[in-house]
Amino acid sequence: TPSASDVLLTEDAVRRYLIRKPMTTKDLLKKFQTKRTGLSSEQTVNVLAQILKRLNPERKNINDKMHFYLTE
Amino acid sequence: SSSEADEMAAALEAELNDFM
């Protein structure tokens, strides 16, 4: 059972990160590590994919890597 | 581990590729 101090993988949390700066999928996964959220790897991938589909962030390549970002 | 992170990133990108 997650405690209040654990990291929550929510749409709002992802939105806040992507407004702050462009991030790769790996950057995002680093923010929501399984040991901090208590989710499995598969759950993390599935939930993050659903959130990104809903948010439909802008995409751009930085150093040949695809980054997502949002504007307010 | 970083290889697990790589696998998760690849899985996530594969999920999103259908959508993008």
Chain centroid to CA B16: 8
Contact A45 B13 (CB under 8 A): no
- pLDDT tens digits for range B1-20: 578 889 999 999 999 987 65
Q: For residue A35, what pLDDT is reported?
A: 92
Which residue type is seen at A53? K
Is A3 a residue whose pLDDT tops 80? Answer: no
> ipTM of the predicted structure?
0.81
Question: Alpha-carbon torsion A59, A40, A10, A21, what sign?
Answer: negative
**Looking at the partner chain, which of B5, B16, B20 has a beta carbon nearest the beta carbon of A29?**
B5
**Looking at the partner chain, which of B8, B16, B19 has a beta carbon nearest the beta carbon of A29?**
B8
Assigned token pair, A71 = 């504007």
- pLDDT tens digits for range A14-55: 999 999 999 999 999 999 999 999 999 999 999 999 999 999
Distance CA A55, CA A52 (A): 5
Contact B4 A52 (CB under 8 A): no
